[in-house]
A and B are shown apart, each in its own frame.
Chain A
């Protein structure tokens, strides 16, 4: 027996729980006993979260000023009409007055918002050269072909690439926004508004004795009025490709209606605790045409919560889902109590009769 046992045991499968598919298992079965608590659990969890989110969102203060059609004082033409022609823009400075009814406390950020601007269009999104932005000098052959037709121009027989190339850079938001509280100008900081990694890793100026030299052999993008090395002449480390306005713009928005961080309010002196209530004036150096594509431009002042900007969607969604769960749970509890006995956990339900009926 033993001899045969060893011989014939050769191919015998091993009797392990895994191989015999008898692992200890949890077999979730949907019964009132397991599902209803889940409904209540979700409901009871979500409603407080939702309320918390809603409160947080409501605490965010936000001022939106649409200045698309602002008019320079005394002029009969809106700025948008003046700058309509993108290729030869005129200059137009206009002011918009607005008031803040109650103090905005905490750090305040200034955004500009555009609508109907398809920064997420496929060709637009692609139209950039990350190597160029990293400071690698590009020739015609190495330049990303996706930059076309905003890749460069042939000047005197030599190809000069735009710096930076591509549609995104070409359409850089070019309005200058300043803010004054009564007559006191509100200090605005134009750094610290981009991702740290973008500023410090992804964007680099090409090497050169000075910035202008570094960008020699390049042209300013078609729609720009100044070359890239004059984006912020005051701060060398915010100039060229390192300019944070450019960096922020280059991070293309997800939707056609979007906002981008423009400035941080410098909370010193009068504005130590935020922006006090009162009358403010937004002064716009109006260069950027949007009416051509039925777009609008907004200036947004907003505080920031841990959750970001003002958006009550999440909070409401949580509350609604929580409520639905509770209601469904309640309905099924009633059904279970009324009819549950003969449907759910009755082993007789699984009987020969049940088989023959089917």
Chain B
């Protein structure tokens, strides 16, 4: 005890070696133990960026991180220097202040939202034990510290990462819903760290213990530690850890000690915080802004030099008539000095070429776009009353530029609802009837609803298995008595054996006593794995009802209403290497010990007793069935059994116990033991369970594919399940070349990777064959080794992926030896030959008939699809293999990563995003997708029942996966098109205006004169010409939504960034140069050698510039609606009214321009109007002509689509039929 006390007092030295030692905080307030852990984070979380005090400096600091803002600030300051002052210093500040202010308000509002959310979470109440009061006391989450003993009731959320000490359950377990953390809705069990009998009561003075655990880590599935209590040292694993954010279910209460709090918890560590996302277009735009700066400097330099030269050239005596000496320099002019000063003045005058209003307008445009996305009725789901939400306001146009989509599986593509569909028993295939399926689905739906209050009666065990007793063998197939579909009882006489292996099943009896359950009361089951639940439901539908499941036994009611209780001796848990799980049970009557095993087909087949009678034939039939099932997209499971003698079992049992207790190599040894037992099995049959896809998923995926997007699936689920779903959602298709890549050995993986590269013909890439020249040679050698000679062509074997050569290649290979097939890992559809080189793993046997058949099928195949599992992925993501992986993945039509951890998902995505420089979109629904969502350029969260974590971390949240189609293909396309058009226009507009000013310098001795009034110069962009482009940016449509939706190919416009590229920028600058020349020199020509004043001329030029820029926008508009018209008119009207009022209002208040009655005078002259018309036509003529020529002679897809969709208005019937046929083709 003294030692323990010592430890407690020595709690300060816990941080050694990254370990943390936690002792319970049970002290009185006077000796507050809670101060023990000052350097462990408290439970308070803070996701806000600012505090009240830091807001102003920090926000300004961040805003000035935008180079443009710094620039404008610099210009404003420059304007305060008298010598270079170009505008009224105060007036020049207005636009910048305006922009900064609006942005600051926006940031403030966003941060306030985060603050409110944090506050809500931090102020949640939980109960912490206080020894002083000898009871639990309410306490806010943020006050919880490491070492606190916390009490959590049923359906309450775990406030921090706890080690479970006590549970209300007498067996010392509790049930946990981890949906908020990893997105899985099923319940997980956790066990107390101490056995229930030893459970301490906290109010005893002497009770003390300590826990040692590792430093905080983001790995949700990993926790290591030990607890020392009453001189015994017990190991801790994730089975004892309750993670923050999880919800306690089906357990009255638990007590636990906090080991990680607040930011150290796994939930928060996995939530790596929002990344400031800057859209691709904006990144591109920023570079162009830099180009603008270069142009600006060039103009300033030209202006400055020109000024110096002019001063030199102009007779010195007279120059002082105009070029008044600079202040402080009474006599004489130094051209160099004057030029230098002029340089800075030009910088002020030409400042608008770097468009200040650009950033601001773009934010407004995006707000408008977001508004319309929110309002889209097609993105609204009625049943849940939710619609698509944009959480990130600044990346709408990225939706139109996505190149890769990374999707989670469960809950994203599927509804996570399993329905039993088919099974094969004793070589006969049984298709399930529709009615049963409905019933099962309905029951399943209910099963996911947790019923509070009944939780104590819940029996929820980790990995139980329900085997059906032998009598079924005699009785044959039991047809569901409720089935009245008229289908004859299938297999009734066949002696089929129906064997349900349900594991992970919990069920909730409706009444307190299970004995009272009547036949009519449906039992609701809960399961970690939904497909196992489906099996149990199916079994119940056939009369075999699971009544009770305890850790040691399982009670089943048979169709004849008799009940049987089986003792569970062992459970051999599922692991991804074995890909099967087993249970050993003892039958009550004869004491027979039977091992039931279920798992993936190849995992079972490899373990069958090859010598048994009829085994081979059975296997062939089942394999055939399985092929059918998987082609239907069903999740398949094989069942097998093995009868053991008592002695056999006991021998194994001893070995197993020893293995289980082994400290270092426990996993290895348990694995070996399990493999040893799972041998010589007898095949029972197989089942096919459907994981319901969400509505419209295959269509959506097909559409995304047509749009040219790479669709990858990253899931934490099993490989087989993932592949099945891949098929059913058309991610994989019949005839696809599915390459399963499972290799857990770092040494072998390189070789395998290389071989896959060669297979795919990616050997042209540097990564695969650094010595490119030798790539074919290598391949040649490879085949020579295998006893083949292959025509090694210089062109890589890329084309071999397609066509008949492929099949020949494969079958030849097979004909030679299975070994070759194994090595080359030629993977053919339907029969996936594993690339699994795991040394511990027995190689799967291959059925020659099947293989041959499949190889013939390969003739039709082509597109390779890669399936990688988590451990392999872990190896592949290592730096030296990353490029290889990408090289392979790029060649693949689809990539599926299964058993991937949240961070692996994120890393995979990051790898693709950063190495391939592509735009990525991630879709997910669970908290396990959070990292991925944040790593992606766009994260889309599915609003499901899986908690809000994913949604909170996402940029867009949608109730349905299928909304992606409209979101990307329609809104993404529009947003990109609109913004790209507007950005290009922006650059043009600002440049054109500045170039006009520049041309004038040629005629005024490069003195920096501007013909316009300073208000016009400063506000031309912000006031008069910004509103129309905002409306265009929000509302214009290059194509109607139905066209975009039904022709996904049009998405390529954004995906390939066709609307706005670097050359578009330069073309616009050139156009601006031309148009500005027209805008300036045509009026100059008309006014040359006349009595026109500088301000009159300026007024005309500004008017011309306004009309030209608006007309320029007008010919860009693809879809005129009344807002377009209104805003154009409003813009002109605003200019007119402003000018009239401004010109009439003030006689002397604006000394420079002195515009009194200027506008009225100017518009009263016919030249003004004649010039307006003429200049507009000349300025826009080339662009108009180019647009016309391009759309007529070199039409883009969009142009064609516009023509095509225009038809319906004229000729409704014929066009719809064309449209249909088009869609089909």
Which A residues contact B (CB, under 8 angstroms)? 7-15, 18-21, 23-32, 35, 42, 46, 49, 53, 86, 111, 113, 118-131, 134, 144-146, 148-150, 167, 171, 195, 197, 201-202, 251-261, 292-294, 306-309, 311, 313-314, 317-318, 321, 324-325, 328, 332, 336, 340, 343-345, 347, 349-352, 354-355, 358
- Residues in B with CB closer than 8 Å to A27 are 1118-1120, 1202, 1206
Instruction: Given A12-B382, A28-B1118, answer yes or no on A119-B1091 (Cβ-Cβ < 8 Å).
Output: no
- B1090–A258 CB distance below 8 A: yes
List, sorted by A's number, 14 A–B pairs whose CB atoms are closer than 8 Å: A12-B377, A20-B376, A21-B1041, A23-B1121, A24-B1122, A121-B322, A122-B345, A122-B1007, A122-B1008, A127-B324, A252-B1093, A255-B1092, A259-B1090, A321-B1177
- Residues in A with CB closer than 8 Å to B1089 are 113, 255, 257-259, 311
Most A CB contacts (10 A, CB to CB) among B1084, B1192, B1222 go to: B1192
- A130–B372 CB distance below 8 A: no
Q: Which 8 A-B pairs have the closest CB atoms?
A: A350-B1200, A293-B318, A254-B1097, A350-B1204, A8-B385, A122-B1007, A23-B1121, A121-B322
- Among A30, A252, A321, point to the contact of B1191 (Cβ < 8 A): A30
Instruction: Compute how far the CA of A167 lies from the CA of B319 in the bound complex, rounded to whole angstroms.
Output: 12
Instruction: Given A258-B1089, A261-B1091, answer yes or no on A24-B1121 (Cβ-Cβ < 8 Å).
Output: yes
- Among B383, B1005, B1118, point to the contact of A121 (Cβ < 8 A): B1005
- B1088–A311 CB distance below 8 A: yes
- Among A18, A20, A25, A313, point to the contact of B1088 (Cβ < 8 A): A313
User: B1225 CB to closest chain A CB, in angstroms?
Assistant: 4
- Among B314, B1148, B1171, point to the contact of A131 (Cβ < 8 A): B1148
B1094 in contact (CB, < 8 A): yes
Add 10 more A-B contacts to A8-B384, A127-B324, A144-B1151 (CB < 8 A): A19-B377, A23-B1121, A27-B1118, A118-B1007, A119-B1094, A145-B327, A197-B1157, A201-B1157, A251-B1093, A332-B1188
**Residue on B nearest A195 in the bound complex, by CB:** B1161
- Among B1004, B1148, B1166, B1222, point to the contact of A352 (Cβ < 8 A): B1222
- Residues in B with CB closer than 8 Å to A307 are 1166-1167, 1170
Instruction: Compute how far the CA of A240 lies from the CA of B485 in the bound complex, rounded to whole angstroms.
Output: 112
- A197–B1170 CB distance below 8 A: no
B470 in contact (CB, < 8 A): no
- B1090–A23 CB distance below 8 A: no
Instruction: Compute how far the CA of A354 lies from the CA of B1093 in the bound complex, rounded to whole angstroms.
Output: 57
Mark contacts of B994-1009 with chain A using CB atoms, 8 A cut-off: 1 yes-contact digit, 0 otherwise: 0000000001110111
- B1203–A309 CB distance below 8 A: no
- Residues in B with CB closer than 8 Å to A127 are 324
User: B1200 CB to closest chain A CB, in angstroms?
Assistant: 3
- Residues in B with CB closer than 8 Å to A294 are 315
Instruction: Compute how far the CA of A124 lies from the CA of B1197 in the bound complex, rounded to whole angstroms.
Output: 56
Instruction: Compute how far the CA of A336 lies from the CA of B1192 in the bound complex, rounded to whole angstroms.
Output: 9
Instruction: Given A21-B1041, A42-B1177, A317-B1082, answer yes or no on A13-B377 (Cβ-Cβ < 8 Å).
Output: yes
- A255–B1166 CB distance below 8 A: no
B135 in contact (CB, < 8 A): no
B449 in contact (CB, < 8 A): no
Most B CB contacts (10 A, CB to CB) among A7, A134, A311 go to: A311
User: A245 CB to closest chain B CB, in angstroms?
Assistant: 13
Instruction: Given A121-B1005, A345-B1203, A349-B1200, answer yes or no on A167-B1119 (Cβ-Cβ < 8 Å).
Output: no
Instruction: Compute how far the CA of A21 lies from the CA of B323 in the bound complex, rounded to whole angstroms.
Output: 57
- Residues in B with CB closer than 8 Å to A29 are 1191, 1202-1203, 1206
Mark contacts of B1213-1225 with chain A using CB atoms, 8 A cut-off: 1 yes-contact digit, 0 otherwise: 0010010001001
- B1005–A118 CB distance below 8 A: yes
- Residues in A with CB closer than 8 Å to B1147 are 130, 134, 201-202
User: A51 CB to closest chain B CB, in angstroms?
Assistant: 13
Instruction: Given A27-B1118, A201-B1156, A253-B1093, answer yes or no on A120-B1037 (Cβ-Cβ < 8 Å).
Output: no
**Residue on A nearest B326 in the bound complex, by CB:** A123
User: A104 CB to closest chain B CB, in angstroms?
Assistant: 18
- A26–B1119 CB distance below 8 A: yes
B569 in contact (CB, < 8 A): no
Instruction: Given A167-B322, A257-B1089, answer yes or no on A7-B1178 (Cβ-Cβ < 8 Å).
Output: no
- A21–B325 CB distance below 8 A: no
Most A CB contacts (10 A, CB to CB) among B1049, B1090, B1120, B1184 go to: B1090
- Residues in B with CB closer than 8 Å to A314 are 1085-1086, 1167, 1170-1171, 1174
- Among A251, A254, A308, point to the contact of B1011 (Cβ < 8 A): A254
User: A308 CB to closest chain B CB, in angstroms?
Assistant: 6
**Residue on A nearest B970 in the bound complex, by CB:** A21
- A130–B1154 CB distance below 8 A: yes
Instruction: Compute how far the CA of A113 lies from the CA of B1184 in the bound complex, rounded to whole angstroms.
Output: 40
- Residues in B with CB closer than 8 Å to A261 are 1091
**Residue on A nearest B1092 in the bound complex, by CB:** A254
- Residues in A with CB closer than 8 Å to B1120 are 25-28
User: B412 CB to closest chain A CB, in angstroms?
Assistant: 22
Instruction: Compute how far the CA of A111 lies from the CA of B1091 in the bound complex, rounded to whole angstroms.
Output: 9
- A11–B321 CB distance below 8 A: no
Most B CB contacts (10 A, CB to CB) among A13, A254, A317, A324 go to: A254
B374 in contact (CB, < 8 A): yes
- Residues in B with CB closer than 8 Å to A111 are 1091
Most A CB contacts (10 A, CB to CB) among B380, B1011, B1091, B1093 go to: B1091
- Among B1088, B1093, B1174, point to the contact of A318 (Cβ < 8 A): B1174
- Among A7, A23, A347, A350, point to the contact of B385 (Cβ < 8 A): A7
Instruction: Compute how far the CA of A178 lies from the CA of B315 in the bound complex, rounded to whole angstroms.
Output: 30
- Residues in A with CB closer than 8 Å to B1195 are 343, 349
- A354–B1197 CB distance below 8 A: yes
- Residues in A with CB closer than 8 Å to B1047 are 355
- A125–B1090 CB distance below 8 A: no
- Among A15, A35, A318, point to the contact of B377 (Cβ < 8 A): A15
B330 in contact (CB, < 8 A): yes
User: A326 CB to closest chain B CB, in angstroms?
Assistant: 13
Mark contacts of B367-403 with chain A using CB atoms, 8 A cut-off: 1 yes-contact digit, 0 otherwise: 0000010111100101111110000000000000000
- B1171–A21 CB distance below 8 A: no
Instruction: Given A28-B1118, A202-B1154, answer yes or no on A8-B1161 (Cβ-Cβ < 8 Å).
Output: no
User: B1024 CB to closest chain A CB, in angstroms?
Assistant: 22
- Residues in A with CB closer than 8 Å to B1192 are 30-32, 336, 340, 343-344
- Among A86, A171, A256, A293, point to the contact of B1004 (Cβ < 8 A): A256
Instruction: Given A122-B1008, A124-B321, A321-B1177, answer yes or no on A253-B377 (Cβ-Cβ < 8 Å).
Output: no
B120 in contact (CB, < 8 A): no
Instruction: Compute how far the CA of A219 lies from the CA of B399 in the bound complex, rounded to whole angstroms.
Output: 71
Instruction: Compute how far the CA of A145 lies from the CA of B328 in the bound complex, rounded to whole angstroms.
Output: 12
Mark contacts of B1185-1208 with chain A using CB atoms, 8 A cut-off: 1 yes-contact digit, 0 otherwise: 101100111010100111110110
B879 in contact (CB, < 8 A): no
**Residue on A nearest B1010 in the bound complex, by CB:** A122
B1087 in contact (CB, < 8 A): yes
Most A CB contacts (10 A, CB to CB) among B1084, B1089, B1117 go to: B1089
Instruction: Compute how far the CA of A278 lies from the CA of B1202 in the bound complex, rounded to whole angstroms.
Output: 70
Instruction: Compute how far the CA of A154 lies from the CA of B44 in the bound complex, rounded to whole angstroms.
Output: 74
- Residues in A with CB closer than 8 Å to B383 are 8
B462 in contact (CB, < 8 A): no
**Residue on A nearest B1003 in the bound complex, by CB:** A255
- Among B321, B1052, B1086, point to the contact of A167 (Cβ < 8 A): B321
- Residues in A with CB closer than 8 Å to B1222 are 351-352
Instruction: Compute how far the CA of A307 lies from the CA of B1177 in the bound complex, rounded to whole angstroms.
Output: 20
- B1170–A293 CB distance below 8 A: no
User: A23 CB to closest chain B CB, in angstroms?
Assistant: 4
- Residues in A with CB closer than 8 Å to B1118 are 27-28
Give the residues from 1157 to 1186 in chain B that come closer than 8 angstroms, CB to CB, to chain A. 1157, 1161, 1165-1167, 1170-1171, 1174, 1177-1178, 1181, 1184-1185
- Residues in A with CB closer than 8 Å to B664 are none
- Residues in B with CB closer than 8 Å to A86 are 317
- A11–B385 CB distance below 8 A: yes
